[in-house]
Amino acid sequence: MSNKSYVMWNNKGGVGKSTITFHVASVYAEENPDRDVIIIDMCPQANVSMMLMGGGRQAEEKLQNLITKDTPQTIVGYITDSITRSDTSDLGKYITKMSSFNKNLSDNIHLLSGDGNLELIAPLLSERADATPLSTTDQPWIEIHSIIKKLTHKQINDKPCTYFIDTNPSFSVYTQIAILSGEYLLVPINADDSSIFAITGLFNLIWGTEKTHPVYGNYTFSAKVNQFGIERPKIALLLGNRFTQQKGAAHAFKALSNEATKKMYDEYQKNPTRFIKSNLNVTKQSEFENAFSMELRDFNSAGVVAANQGMPLSKMDRHTYYVYGEKIQVSKEQRKLCKEVIINLVSKL
């Protein structure tokens, strides 16, 4: 068995990247005890890190402890040491085992924590990437853009690892690094035009526009990736997040879901190699939808409890929870449905 890596990205905020990363990674880890699961949080907001650390105020404190170490035990510590060519071979210096932080998580979950300072090192990363090569073998752009990719080839124990990489919506240099680190791309969308519109942006940013712009065209991310022959992740799934909601909304949501799938399917017909299973015999949009998309329900109060307490849906076995002193009810039926949808998603990975 070899390592695997999944990156979650949409060029739009609030679509569920961090939430889905948390739920998928925690259930994936439960179902794959023969693997180590490592979440790499490449969003400076560190939302998925906070959920993994058990959520709420106490998670903020724990996160702060990791960030303020001499060598931050975070993504910033790892990237900075990689740039300065310090010895990064002891991954325990950067990656944290989560079961000691959050008893709801299984033993094989680990985190390379998010860090607000990721935003602060972005100018350094850009400058290093665009530095003039010093020799024919010096490749600064490739070096910077493969720091995390190289990490995903490593193991922390003697087990194969599965990496889940959470991202920031903006296409900043650290998002570019994150995207190039994943073998597979998962694209969450919501049932709204703006997140569906962002799919077009996603293709233009990662693969480039159909026509190269005469002025800035040679400076873009996709131009560099082509120039250096770097591999991009393959699109694995379009995740329609919160598509299954209250009755009555279903019809309206179906129209939006259809529009999103159509966009992706058009792209698949033009460039099937951008997707996994590019040789699948898909000739209709409905077949494409079956193979490449999935609807996730709105978790409602179960989602609120899960995020606040860092609780995987699989571990939610009570009817009543307290969030900041407020009593929250989560019905058995709702817990069951939410759990099933995540298990179903994990089974597709």
Ligand X SMILES: Nc1ncnc2c1ncn2[C@@H]1O[C@H](COP(=O)(O)OP(=O)(O)O)[C@@H](O)[C@H]1O
Interaction site with Mg ion (CB under 5 A) = 17-18, 47
Q: Angle, to 10 degrees, between the axis of helix 300-309 and the axis of helix 332-347? A: 70
335 binds ligand X (CB under 6 A): no
Least Å distance between CB 223 and ligand X?
27
Token pair of 183 as six digits: 């073998």
Q: Give the number of C-alpha atoms closer than 13 A to the C-alpha of residue 25, restricted to the C-beta side.
A: 38
Which of ligand X, Mg ion, none is residue 236 near (CB under 5 to 8 Å by kind)?
Answer: none
Beta bridge partners of 240: 189, 295
CB nearer Mg ion, residue 166 or residue 183: 166
Least Å distance between CB 21 and Mg ion?
8
Which of Mg ion, ligand X, none is residue 298 near (CB under 5 to 8 Å by kind)?
Answer: ligand X
Least Å distance between CB 197 and ligand X?
15
Segment 44 to 73, residues that bind ligand X, using CB under 6 A: 47
With contacts defined by CB under 6 A, name the span among 59-67, 219-227, 261-269, 296-304 that binds ligand X: 296-304
Q: What is the largest CA-CA distance in the chain?
A: 64
CB nearer ligand X, residue 3 or residue 314: 314
Name the residue among 199, 202, 240, 195 with its Cα closest to residue 344: 240
CA distance 70 to 93: 11
Token pair of 162 as six digits: 């599965």
CB nearer ligand X, residue 47 or residue 104: 47
Which of Mg ion, ligand X, none is residue 44 near (CB under 5 to 8 Å by kind)?
Answer: none
240 binds ligand X (CB under 6 A): no
The backbone region for 85, taken as left when phi is positive above 0, alpha when psi lies in -120 to 50, beta otherwise, is: left
CB nearer ligand X, residue 104 or residue 241: 241
Question: Are 133 and 139 in contact, with CB atoms under 8 Å apart?
Answer: yes
Find the angle CA(159)-CA(62)-CA(168) to the nearest 5 degrees: 70
Least Å distance between CB 302 and ligand X?
8
Name the residue among 45, 40, 61 with its Cα closest to residue 113: 40
CB nearer ligand X, residue 53 or residue 129: 53
Token pair of 214 as six digits: 């005469």
Least Å distance between CB 168 and Mg ion?
7
Which of Mg ion, ligand X, none is residue 9 near (CB under 5 to 8 Å by kind)?
Answer: none
User: What is the total count of residues that contact ligand X (CB under 6 A)?
Assistant: 15
